[in-house]
Amino acid sequence: MSSHELHMPSREEVVAGLDRPLPKWLRTTALVLAATGLIVFIVGLFLNPDRVWRALLVNWLYFTSVSSAGVMFVAVQRITTARWSRPVVRFLEGYVAFLPVAFILLLLMLFVGEHHIFWWSNTTPTIREKAVYLNPAFYYPRVIGISLLIYILSVWFIYLSVRLDVGILPEAGAAWARRIRERMRRGFRDERRELHSTHSLQGYIAVFLAFAFGFGWIVLSWDMSMSLDPHFQSTMYGWWFFMSAWVGALASWSVIVMAWRRFLGRYDLIEDRHFHDLGKLVFAFTAFWGYLTFGQYLVIWYGNMGEETHWMRLRLIAGWRIPTLVGLVLMFGFPFFGLLSRAAKVFLPTMLLFSMGTVVGLWIHRYIEVYPSIYGVVPHALIGIWEIGVTAGLLGIWGLCYLAFMDAFPRMRVLLMTSPFRDEVQVPVDPQTMEPLPAHE
C-alpha cells in the first residue's frame, strides 16, 4: 500500500467496542436529577404553582427545541448527502428520544398548567386580532398539530436511519429494545437494496421535515413564547428562536462527541477534522444568530415604537439586565471570538469551553424570553429552587431518554461507513431496478 492511500476500516473494525456498556453512574445521575426535579415540581404545585409551571415552560422550550433542531440537522445531512459526519451523526440522532416525552409535557402544560402560564387563558385579549389568534379553539389544535407533525417526521426519519444498522449487525443492545430491533429486521432485504430504498425515502421525509421544522417552530415560538407578552410582536422572532436552537444543538453535539470519543476510545474514527468541522459550524451559526439578534434589535430601536421597544427595554433594566447581558456574551461574544482560529476548534479544552458557553447561554436565552414577559420589572432575577429544581429534572429526563436510545441501538452508522455500496447514494438510483435515475428525477 502506498503512503497516500487511506485505510478504510472493515465492518468488524468499526463495530469493535461500540457496544461497551455505559457507566452505571451516568444513568444513576440522570435518574437522581429526574427524581429531584419531580419532587421539586410536585412540592411547587402546592407552594408556588405559578413558578414551577413557568419554569417547566422555560425548560420545555430549551430541551425540545434543541432536540428537534438536532434531528433537523441530521436530516440536512441527508439532503446534502454529507459523508463527513457519518462516524459522529448517530450521537446527534439520539436527541430524538426526548421528543415523545416533550409531547406529553406539552399536553400537561396546555391542559393542566395553562392558567399558571398563559395570561390569555384567564382573560380575553383586548386586541381583536390576538383574541382570534389565541382563541382556544384555534390555539390548541394548532400547537398540538404542529408539534405532532414535527415529532412524527423526526421519529420516522431516525427510525429508518437506525434500521439500516440494526439490519446488518448481530443482535446487541438493551434487552428492553429487543422487540423493537426484531421488528426493524423484518423484511430487511439485501444490503444494497435496503441502502438505496431507505436513502430514497429519507430524502422525501427530510424535505418535509425541513418545512415542518422551519414553519412549525416559527409558529410554536409565537404561541409558546412571544404570546406571553400581550403587546409585543416581531416578524424576526421565530427565526431568532429556531436559529438559537440550531446553534444549541450543534454546540451540545460537539460536547457529546468529545465525551463519546473518549469513552469509546475511537480516536481512529472520530478525528480532529470532525471537531474542526463542528467548530466551523458552531462559529458560523453563532455569527448568524448574532446577525438575527442585532437585526431584530436595530429595527426595534430605529422604529422607536412603544409596543416594540418595551420588550427590549424590559430585558435591559432592573433585575433582568445581568442575565440578559450574560446570555448575550455566552451565546455570541464567547464562541464567536473564541472560535475564530482553527487551533481553538481542534484543541478540545477550548472547544469544550466555548461549546458549553453556548449550551448554558441558550438556557439563559430561553429564560429571558419567558420570565420578563410574565413578571415585568423586578429588582432581582427570579432564579431560585423552583427554576433550579425543574431544570435539573428536565436535564435528568433528557439524559435518561438519550442514554436509553444509545444503549438500545448501534452507536455509529456502521452501514454507511463500511458498505461497499456506501458511495452509490451520491447518485440516486431506482430502489427497484437499482439503475441510476435520470438527472431530472
| Per-residue pLDDT tens listing for the chain (441 residues) | 444 455 678 888 898 888 899 999 999 999 999 999 999 999 999 999 999 999 999 999 999 999 999 999 999 999 999 999 999 999 999 999 999 999 999 999 999 999 999 999 999 888 889 999 999 999 999 999 999 999 999 999 999 999 999 999 988 889 999 999 999 999 898 898 899 999 989 999 999 999 999 999 999 999 999 999 998 988 899 999 999 999 999 999 999 999 999 999 999 999 999 999 999 999 999 999 999 999 888 888 888 887 789 999 999 999 999 999 999 999 999 999 999 999 999 999 999 999 999 999 999 999 999 999 999 999 999 999 999 999 999 999 999 999 999 999 999 999 999 998 888 887 777 767 777 776 544
CA distance 114 to 106: 10
Q: Residue for cell digits 444513576?
A: 28
Which residues on neighbouring strands pair with residue 72, listed in sequence order?
A: none
Phi, psi (degrees; rounded to nearest 5) at 320: -90, -10
CA 155 vs. chain centroid, Å, equals 13
Burial 327-340 (b: 16+ CB within 10 A, else e): bbebbbebbbebbe
- What are 49's three cell numbers? 404553582
In angstroms, how far is the first alpha carbon of the chain from the final one? 40
pTM score, whole prediction: 0.94
Query: Do 217 and 225 meet the contact criterion of CB atoms below 8 Å apart?
Result: no
Angle ∠(218,304,296) on CA atoms, nearest 5: 30
- What are 282's three cell numbers? 458552531
- What are 165's three cell numbers? 444498522
Query: Do 273 and 111 meet the contact criterion of CB atoms below 8 Å apart?
Result: no
The DSSP secondary-structure symbol of 410 reads: -
Q: Strand, coil or helix: what is 26? A: helix
- What are 382's three cell numbers? 427570579
Nearest to 113 by CA among 60, 67, 50: 50
User: Cα dist. 93→121, 343, 388, 411, 412 in Å?
Assistant: 36, 28, 27, 10, 10
Q: Residue for cell digits 464567536?
A: 336
CA distance 250 to 73: 8
> What does 286-335 look like in DSSP terms, one character per residue?
HHHHHHHHHHHHHHHHHHT-HHHHHHHHHTTSGGGHHHHHHHHIIIIIHH
The DSSP secondary-structure symbol of 82 reads: -
What single letter denotes the amino acid at residue 129?
E
Q: Where are the domains of the chain?
A: 22-414
